[in-house]
A and B are shown apart, each in its own frame.
Chain A
Amino acid sequence: MIPEQLHYTETHEWVRLDQDVATVGVTDHAQNELSDVVFVGLPEVGRVVRSREAVAVLESVKAASDIYAPLSGEIIEVNSALTEHPELINQSPYEKGWIFKLRVESQDLNGLLDASGYSARINP
């Protein structure tokens, strides 16, 4: 089910905002579409990104998928567990499969979808 407390992008990223730190991953819908993730290309800590910029790459068995920054800010942490265990994204997309953390420029989430908005997006 789609976690209520998170926000979402059109491109299937989820965001958990805690003050000015945003944790980002991909949704259950996304990991299901991708199927087995075999490699995660993590961004560099310290990189400054703009909203909607391609920030990370998920390689599944069949194809590569870009992951986009949901908000503008600076990358302050990446989930290095994904290097050895990319399957965490399939197994635990909202918890253990988080991908990176951003210190956001602005805590305004208006550009993002809420749970029901995202649900409508994937179940038209």
Chain B
Amino acid sequence: MPASSCHTILAPVHQSLGARMVEFGGWWMPVQYTSILEEHQAVREAMGLFDISHMGQITVRGEKAAAWLDQLLTNRASALAVGGGQYSLMLNEAGGVLDDLLVYRRADQEFFLVVNAARRDDDLQWMRSHLPETLSLFIHDDGAAMALQGPLAIPWLDEICHRTSLPSRNQIRSMKILDLPCWVARTGYTGEDGVEIFCDPSHAPALFQEVLRLGHDRGLKPCGLGARDILRLEACLPLYGQDLSPDITPLEAGLHRFIAWDKPTSFIGQNALLALREKGVPRGSMALMMLERTAPPRPHYPVWMDGEVIGEVTSGGYSPTFGQGIGMALLRHPLPPPGSTVFIEIRGTKFPARLHPKPLYKRT
């Protein structure tokens, strides 16, 4: 078992629940508690609770914090009102993605960033190398966080918080859940409505267990990384390391919405993206769904069309919602139109799949 610094504060709770644990991004995390398919179903039909304490939590403070983040990241942090949040990307000078993250404005001069676990150390190194003296970074080393996601999550949370008003989409609010102070953000990585809850690590085990206990009769289940991956894949949310990497630009990944081109100072990588746009973006990302019952598509499987390889699968797996294998692929331009049939090479044999625009799954 890895050293104790790689355990989230909730590790003993997962173990007491009989979770199967695995090393992920340097952290010892639950893959599943009962079955990945059952946990997936809970989130799509009721609600699920995830430990997300492994994510990196970084606070940026100072008068020029907003302007600095505008320059560091693609989206417009300075446009956030206090309590606002947005998805954003951190790029290298070539326009490749160093990380994708959530940025929340907790106070006028205070921003809270949530970054990928596996990227945290690299992100910090990059941020420090670009940090002006007037700003400070605070790293929440043993941060605790959990995500409550599913169609019943918000109505149920509303009840147990006695109608304290919950943040609206992408907003973050300081409030109490079961009498414990938390920062609650209306964000998630499952394609369902729900919240991500940040609390003091000393409160986390009690909060996690009490939420599970209270929500049990409404169908709340603890859910691990296995279910989390299928849920986000169905919603076509990118996974860093597969759909995003230093070799993939946000233009190729289809994340144009999160790029603010007209900020007072250009963001790192902006010039490279502009040059790419002018030259012609070489690749694009599309969703795909297998047309037959086959082994599921997986990362790096070649995508064929008209007798040639036109790209590769970046993320793939079996979707219980669609009863088929699904995936996302990075394909060369010109992109085939949605509805086109391509062939995914799975262990030496080609199987047909249909291309779709993203997302495949959208909650009703």
Contacts and interface: CB of A to CB of B under 8 A. Distances in A.
B36 A61 contact: yes
Interface in B242-259: none
Contact of A59 (B20, B35, B296): B296
Interface in B145-162: none
Interface stretch (A15-23, A36-44, A116-124): A36-44
Q: Which of A41, A59, A61, A84 has the most CB of B within 10 A?
A: A61
B295 A35 contact: no
A59 B293 contact: no
Interface in A30-73: 35-36, 38-39, 41, 57, 59, 61-62, 64
A83 interface: yes
B318 A35 contact: no
A64 B32 contact: no
Contact of A57 (B293, B295, B317, B325): B295
Contact of A61 (B37, B293, B294, B347): B37
Contacts of A64: 295, 347
A5 to B, nearest CB: 29
Contact of B35 (A35, A57, A62, A84): A35
A35 B226 contact: yes
A35 B296 CA distance: 15
A59 B226 contact: no
Given A35-B36, A36-B37, A41 B318 contact: no
A63 to B, nearest CB: 9
Q: Which of A36, A39, A41 has the most CB of B within 10 A?
A: A36
Contact of B226 (A61, A83, A87): A61
Interface string B138-176: 000000000000000000000000000000000000000
Nearest to B290: A39
A9 to B, nearest CB: 22
A87 B35 CA distance: 11
Given A35-B36, A39-B318, A62 B294 contact: no
B303 interface: no
Interface in A59-99: 59, 61-62, 64, 83-84, 87, 90
Interface string B301-344: 00000000000000001100000010000000000000000000
Contacts of A61: 36-37, 226, 230, 317-318
Contacts of B226: 35, 61-62
A62 B31 CA distance: 10
A39 B20 CA distance: 22
Contacts of B36: 35-36, 61-62
Ranked nearest first, the 4 interchain pairs of A and B with the lowest CB-CB distance are A38-B318, A59-B295, A36-B37, A61-B36
27 contacts: A35-B20, A35-B32, A35-B226, A36-B37, A38-B296, A38-B318, A39-B293, A39-B294, A39-B296, A39-B318, A39-B325, A41-B295, A59-B318, A61-B36, A61-B37, A61-B226, A61-B317, A61-B318, A62-B31, A62-B36, A62-B226, A64-B295, A64-B347, A83-B293, A84-B293, A87-B37, A90-B35
Given A36-B35, A38-B37, A59-B318, 13 more contacts: A35-B32, A35-B226, A36-B36, A39-B293, A39-B295, A57-B295, A57-B347, A59-B295, A59-B296, A61-B230, A61-B317, A61-B318, A64-B347
